[in-house]
Structure 1
């Protein structure tokens, strides 16, 4: 992020994006801060939290988007998670799901392991990588005005969409959503399929 720009607050940024969320928008989160921030904005059955599986959130979201082409899918990941699953951007760029958005919460550090400087803090440009992978709609967001202008793109524009949101490193209170994996899976299936979720079980 530029030295002249005060970084965005990650929790407020996530809350702003989800404020305009329609009920049928599906949200997938990676472990750590993205999960805490989405939960703080409001836990719903349409949220699926990947507590583990670092590097797998985008591919999970891609699978959901391909299986549910009429629903918007928004994946929230940290920059460290995105770097671990970098190949997933190439797969998304090839498949080009029109209903998938990826929001990278980029504090340029590994928050979960002690705030070590991450690749994004050493000059790696995640947005540029996404564009090279075939994302026609990929932007880096550093200011509130830019975020405000891009919210509708994240929630409504033809995808795939990627937004790298540059945020600060200030800690936020931990907001823990449910952690029971099988229960979260069942809740998510029911939100998608209703009573049909149990037909094949």
Structure 2
């Protein structure tokens, strides 16, 4: 299994103009640990909403790559979002699900993915053709290179990571601040 911090650090190392939306918990801590950036939008308390927030951003900013980094527990809460994303089909949206098979923010209970739910298969079943399961760093490297370029539609990558907990890196929790700095990074009036 892969180390989640290594995976996220690699995905963001050469991010270019990529906008990032995080799911709550460890995904947020991992992205912040890779380096806080005004183009990062951290969701707090919005379980199940990261992929759809990424969809909205991808539609609003079609010339910029949008990367959602979330966990399996958070994505399980928003399964229906895959169908909406498939219908809208933004070519600039990549959703990375860090799958450790646990609900990390609520005490480490086993999630449905540890019992057989395959989020990549769910995404494909909803109409997202580019949905894969990643278990090695070579595939993470290929994904990192692909994020900045458009695809034939949205992309979902379920990355199998270990269950180790890294120290928390806490970015701002102030939604108005996060929104304002993202708007400024995009050159939009606040």
TM-score interval w.r.t. the shorter chain? over 0.9
Give the aligned partner of residue 157 of structure 2: 163
Instruction: Determine which of 112, 117, 120 is the counterpart of 1:127.
Output: 120
Instruction: Determine which of 65, 84, 99 is the counterpart of 1:106.
Output: 99
- The secondary structure found in structure 2 opposite 1:156 is coil
What are the residue-to-residue correspondences of 1:146-157 with 2, within 5 Å? Answer: 146-157=139-150
Is the contact between residue 65 and residue 150 of structure 2 (CA under 8 Å) also seen in structure 1? no
How many Å separate the matches in 2 of 1:8 and 1:41? 16
Q: How many pairs are equivalent?
A: 189
Give 4+ residue runs of structure 1 displaced > 6 Å after superposition: none
Give the aligned partner of residue 3 of structure 1: none
Q: Within the alignment, does 1:41 sit opposite 2:34 as a pair?
A: yes
- The secondary structure found in structure 1 opposite 2:148 is helix
How many Å separate the matches in 1 of 2:86 and 2:40? 24
Give the aligned partner of residue 80 of structure 2: 87
How many Å separate the matches in 1 of 2:142 and 2:180? 35
Aligned CA-pair RMSD: 1.0
Q: Which TM-score applies when normalising by structure 2?
A: 0.96
Give the aligned partner of residue 182 of structure 1: 176
- The secondary structure found in structure 1 opposite 2:21 is strand
Give the aligned partner of residue 197 of structure 1: 189
How many Å separate the matches in 1 of 2:121 and 2:105? 25
The unaligned stretches of length 5 or more in structure 1 are 1-6
Deviation at 1:150, TM superposition (A): 2.3
Deviation at 1:110, TM superposition (A): 0.4
Deviation at 1:33, TM superposition (A): 0.4
Deviation at 1:43, TM superposition (A): 0.5
Residue by residue over 1:83-126, the C-alpha shift from the partner in whole angstroms, topping out at 9 and shown as x without a partner, is 10000000001110011000000000000111100000000000
How many Å separate the matches in 2 of 1:100 and 1:19? 18
Of structures 1 and 2, the larger Rg is shown by 1
Q: Which TM-score applies when normalising by structure 1?
A: 0.91
Give the aligned partner of residue 61 of structure 2: 68
